[in-house]
Structure 1
Amino acid sequence: MRSHSAIRSAVTTITRTITVAAGVFAPGHLGELTRIVPFELADAVLARTRTRERRLRTLPSRVGIYFVLALGLFPRCGYQGVWANLTAALRGQAPRPSGKALRDVRRRLGPAPLRALFDILAGPLGQPSTPGVRFGRYRTVTFDGCRSIKVPDTERNRGWLGRLNAAQGQTGYPAIQLMTLVETGTRALIGAVFGTPADGEITWARRLLHHLDGSMLVLADRGFDAAAFLADVAGTGARFLVRIKAGRRLPVTGRLPDGSVLSCLGGLKVRIITAHVGVTCHDGTTYGEDYRLATTLTDCREYPAGALIGLYHERWEHEIAYLALRHTLLQGQVLRSGDPTGLEQEMWALLAVYQTLRIAITDAITTVPGTDPDRASYQLAVTTAQNLVIGAENVTAGNEDLAGDIGRAVLANLNPPRRPRVCARRVKSPLSRWNKQPPGKPRTNLRITRLTITASGHDPLDEGTTRRSRSLTHDPEP
């Protein structure tokens, strides 16, 4: 039997002090992310959008801002569960509103303050020295769309979004068409718009052109190769590197020593690079694909064909950004709102939370010069941020600690440098339009041991040309 003194020595009392806003504003926080979305910023967007309450309520509008943001950080929790996470550390000193009261505060706010908040947070984050952010003197950015964020199947949502037609019929849920402009190096959102999938991707992308400037190089896939759209991109001063459809016939106005040719597209002088990319895997499997790229970088000495072909691969960083948004943050969940106004509010909040986490990650990476943002774990950042919300920790921490607890967790668990590999396509939804395996691509994950890029001046639609090819071989390190 233990003695009384032994029992006392085995018990330690730990007390912790938390600092939050006073009174009814106490539940209005986002843990350590509050330093990126401080109280002053929340108040400012409320004032700008004229959504501040006229009389002090049990649920002030500022608390509503943080509650809606927390909905995006805890997608699997109901309203009461999210509120419990915000108030867990307050030890019963916060009000316990009903689900109706929480719905009412959402309705009172509307989408405007969340959209204003996202507009303030959005923008490129990488410094010129950040790995992967720049190609020469240009910041690389990408356009791409996403139609896999599902919403509740209500009459009002269907009236706004309709239903997607898939390979085997209509999808079970309506889906939002999201279009974003992303900085490839950090996967930060520079701009975003969303709405009905009935409008094509280029229609939505045009609404983001005002974010482009002469410091940017736009990467995009074949869905954005319309001549008029590319002319509009060039009109902003930005340069572009876009994959064009294989069957497109373009005039050849000149030939360059690296095998690329000069042409005209939408009234623009462009350079066309035709290439074959061959992949050899560790088990001996080989496959490849032909590419045709159009770019306004016409100087073949300053921008060799091989370098541009390798750069085009960075376009896939946009897909990783959507993976983090849909699956890591949203966890594949259907959104909550049954009407378009609620969906708009929810989407702007989700995008704002995504960007806030990217800011926290990039701030941490900046403290260790030369660290590639690719190595930062978004999943770890989300998990750490959730824990800090539940504990109401670092709510009022100063900005002198650039990394913070989120950044320190990310830096202490950096992923290894990315290895060249083939990832087999796994489609979970039978209705997906991408449910077919690409011809020739392996059906299992394999390590790449050799990449061969053959740039050619031969245009398959111009039979009078002579083939000039240059083979560029890259042997990845084991």
Structure 2
Amino acid sequence: MSESAAKAGFPLLLSVYPPALVDSAVAACGRTEKRRRLLSARTMVYFVLAMDLFSPAPYQEVMDRLTTDLRAAELWAEETLPSRAGIFQARERLGPEPLFTLQRSVSRPIARLGTPGAHWRGLRLMHLEQHTVDLPERASPAPRLHALAVVESSTRTVIDATVGERRTDTALLRSLGPGTLLTVPGRPFDLDHWDAITGAGAGLLWQLALGQRPRPTPERLCPDGSFLTRLGGRRARVLAPGVFTNLLDAQRAPAAELLGVLARTEAGGGALREALLGAGREKGPLTSRTSDGIQQEVCGRLLVHYAIRRSDRTGPTHFPRTFPEQQGRSRLNQTALPILQH
């Protein structure tokens, strides 16, 4: 069991994901059982969470520990414990959808207004992270699983995630809106997502992937050395080579400060990897053998990680209180020189 999960314990998971909330997620996905079963859908949601909480314990041990905790909470009164085969079948009946529905219904930014590094000029700082996980043999035609998440930067809390897609799922955009600034570090430019994020009213700071360095035509030089241009026909502002923003007012959004936000994001990443593997790889590897089982297990790890983060309402702060403007100005100087030579 990971140290952080051990400190959390099952009572924390019950407080963050109470039975009524779990039942609602199960019902929303049409997974409520029509007849009484030893392993209800609710119990199986908690079992998937327990798989992470007690990782890397084997199935039967996880169920033994879970039923002990459920009995203490007066949520388990059965004398018979399920077999390993029964657990497999119950997981198949559940599917991954109730867990992702539960995640979407609960996960919210947890930083308070005074949390250091949580906001920049009134905008809540969020960023996009991706991670690839090796899969067990025969678990999937593809040997690796791709996960993508929106993370609250100051608390390293995973707010929303998609699993199994290489592209940015537009479903992640539900976590964004007016009052947020999303940093996208090192990803290929996607015009649809630029439009969706801008249309949602969120600020956007996009660093293109290495090797993708367009030569935008400057339309107007700003006092801070950045310049306005068109990116795929959309108005944008260039802060440094390969770094764009939809915040066009240089006075309200100085380039040096935005580049400082980017530098902090690059230095403070890794929340998604930590959620999936643990801070020091102390979690066991994914053990599920089916596509649905893998998605279940991944979402279970995300749910446990979120509960632990939320247990401290301010979360562990990994960003400095001040912005590294010196790093930002260094990049800014790299931007201004080509403009003057153009």
TM-score above 0.5, yes or no: yes
| Partner of residue 121 from structure 1, selected from 99, 102, 106 | 106
Question: Who is 2:229 aligned against?
Answer: 263
Deviations 1:3-53 (A, max 9, x none): xxxxxxxxxxxxxxxxxxxxxxxxxx9323211111211222222223223
Deviations 1:367-405 (A, max 9, x none): xxxxx7316xxxxxxxxxxxxxxxxxxxxxxxxxxxxxx
Question: Who is 2:180 aligned against?
Answer: 216
| Partner of residue 66 from structure 2, selected from 86, 96, 115 | 86
Question: Who is 2:270 aligned against?
Answer: 320
1:50 aligns with 2:16: no
What is the number of equivalent residue pairs in this alignment? 323
| Structure 1 position 104, deviation (Å) | 2.2
Question: Who is 1:67 aligned against?
Answer: 47
Aligned AA for 1:336? T
Question: Who is 2:257 aligned against?
Answer: 307
**Largest Rg, 1 or 2:** 1
Question: Who is 1:187 aligned against?
Answer: 156
Aligned residues with identical type, % of pairs? 25
For residues 77-476 of structure 1, the aligned pairs below 5 Å read: 77-88=57-68, 95-147=80-132, 149-154=133-138, 157-158=140-141, 162=142, 174-196=143-165, 200=166, 203-244=167-208, 247-274=213-240, 292-316=242-266, 319-328=269-278, 331=282, 333-362=284-313, 365=314, 373-374=316-317, 453-454=329-330, 455-456=332-333, 458=335, 464-465=341-342
Aligned AA for 1:296? N
Deviations 1:402-425 (A, max 9, x none): xxxxxxxxxxxxxxx9699xxxxx
| Structure 1 position 255, deviation (Å) | 1.5
Aligned AA for 1:150? D
Write the distance in 2 (CA, Å) between the matches of 1:304 and 1:178: 32
C-alpha contact 1:30 1:66 (8 A) present in aligned 2 = no
Question: Who is 1:165 aligned against?
Answer: none
TM-align CA RMSD: 3.1
Deviations 1:280-302 (A, max 9, x none): xxxxxxxxxxx542112222222
Write the distance in 1 (CA, Å) between the matches of 2:328 and 2:306: 36
Write the distance in 2 (CA, Å) between the matches of 1:59 and 1:206: 34
C-alpha contact 1:124 1:190 (8 A) present in aligned 2 = yes
The DSSP-based 3-state class of the residue aligned with 1:353 is helix
Deviations 1:54-102 (A, max 9, x none): 3333333322221111012222111112123224566998533221222
The DSSP-based 3-state class of the residue aligned with 1:31 is helix
Report the TM-score, using the length of structure 1 for normalisation: 0.60
Aligned AA for 2:287? R
Question: Who is 1:40 aligned against?
Answer: 20
Write the distance in 2 (CA, Å) between the matches of 1:232 and 1:51: 32
Question: Who is 1:475 aligned against?
Answer: none
C-alpha contact 1:46 1:62 (8 A) present in aligned 2 = yes
C-alpha contact 2:185 2:266 (8 A) present in aligned 1 = no
Aligned AA for 2:140? N
**Given the superposition, is the C-alpha separation of residues 118 and 234 from structure 1 closer, same or farther in structure 2, using an over 3 Å criterion?**
same
The DSSP-based 3-state class of the residue aligned with 2:329 is strand
Write the distance in 1 (CA, Å) between the matches of 2:256 and 2:115: 22
What are structure 1's unaligned runs of at least 5 residues?
Answer: 1-28, 163-173, 275-290, 366-371, 376-416, 421-447, 466-478
Deviations 1:350-375 (A, max 9, x none): 2222222222222xx3xxxxxx7316
**Given the superposition, is the C-alpha separation of residues 460 and 304 from structure 1 closer, same or farther in structure 2, using an over 3 Å criterion?**
closer
Aligned AA for 1:239? G
Report the TM-score, using the length of structure 2 for normalisation: 0.82
More helix by share: 2
The DSSP-based 3-state class of the residue aligned with 2:129 is strand
For residues 12-27 of structure 1, the aligned pairs below 5 Å read: none
Write the distance in 2 (CA, Å) between the matches of 1:299 and 1:151: 46
Question: Who is 1:6 aligned against?
Answer: none
The DSSP-based 3-state class of the residue aligned with 1:30 is helix
